[in-house]
């Protein structure tokens, strides 16, 4: 379960993150609040691996598909499940990489009971604010929701796959996305 730890401190920063233990938990900052998620379970990892492989196999030369790299959008710090970086993107070597420098073409979040609300709300809004062109979310039941940044700066749904369905996505590059029950 994701825990919001802000009863005492509401202005968490990247330097505060450095003092936290490296214990397998995911630590993210959204609007000055610290979010802590436990390590992912098997269903989460399986869904992530399937999408990673589909993206990786379809990626044109120079595109990179990475998992769990840190992203910085303004004062917020995120660790998305998957990111796709276009050719020419500098290496993502820091704990948290400025989204203006390491500009993902796509961010993918795999929902768990502890992250479902945040993935559909705060993270989605922040990724749009950061100008990330595409955001995919895999819901608890296996439904995959594909969104793209619209002209008003918010994500618009361009496809929804129910378990057992597949779709040819055009962004960030042509790739067949399949969904299965989780």
Instruction: Measure Cα distances from 100 to 6, 39, 66, 103, 182 in Å.
Output: 27, 28, 17, 5, 34
Cβ-based burial of 30 (10 A; exposed 0-12, middle 13-18, buried ≥19): buried
pLDDT < 50 regions, the chain: 1, 6
Question: What residues have CB less than 8 Å from 151, skipping those under 6 apart?
Answer: none
User: Domain total for the chain?
Assistant: 1
Quick check: is 3 in a domain? no
Q: How far apart are CA 131 and CA 154, in angstroms?
A: 9
Q: How far apart are CA 176 and CA 168, in angstroms?
A: 4
Q: How far apart are CA 9 and CA 63, in angstroms?
A: 39
Instruction: Give the pLDDT confidence score for residue 96 in this predicted structure.
Output: 81
Quick check: is 12 in a domain? no
Quick check: is 28 in a domain? no
87-103 residue pLDDT tens: 999 887 777 888 888 88
pTM to 2 decimal places: 0.85
- Is 17:5 a contact under the CB 8 Å cutoff? no
Q: What share of the chain is helix, strand, coil (3-state, %, to 5)?
A: 20, 35, 50
Residue 73 is part of a domain; what is its CATH number? 3.90.1570.10
Domain with 170 in it: 41-178
Quick check: is 16 in a domain? no
Quick check: is 153 in a domain? yes
Quick check: is 17 in a domain? no
Quick check: is 10 in a domain? no
Instruction: Give the pLDDT confidence score for residue 182 in this predicted structure.
Output: 76
Q: How far apart are CA 105 and CA 149, in angstroms?
A: 11
Quick check: is 129 in a domain? yes
Query: Of 31, 34, 29, 36, nearest to 9 (Cα)?
Result: 34
């Amino acid at each position: 379960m994701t825990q919001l730890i802000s009863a005492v401190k509401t202005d968490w920063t990247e330097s505060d993150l450095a003092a936290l233990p490296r214990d397998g938990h995911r630590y993210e900052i959204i609007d000055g609040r610290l979010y802590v998620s436990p390590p992912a379970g098997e269903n989460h990892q399986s869904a992530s691996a399937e999408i990673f492989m589909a993206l990786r196999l379809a990626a044109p030369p120079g595109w990179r598909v990475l998992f769990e790299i840190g992203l910085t959008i303004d004062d917020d710090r995120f660790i998305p499940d998957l990111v796709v970086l276009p050719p020419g993107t500098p290496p993502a070597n820091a704990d948290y990489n400025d989204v203006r420098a390491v500009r993902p073409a796509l961010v993918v979040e795999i929902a768990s009971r502890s992250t479902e609300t945040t993935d559909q709300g705060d993270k989605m809004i922040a990724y749009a604010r950061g100008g990330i062109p595409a955001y995919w979310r895999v819901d608890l039941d296996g439904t995959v929701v594909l969104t793209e940044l619209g002209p008003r700066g918010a994500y618009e749904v361009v496809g929804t796959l129910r378990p057992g369905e597949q779709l040819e996505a055009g962004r960030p590059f042509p790739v067949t996305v399949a969904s299965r029950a989780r």
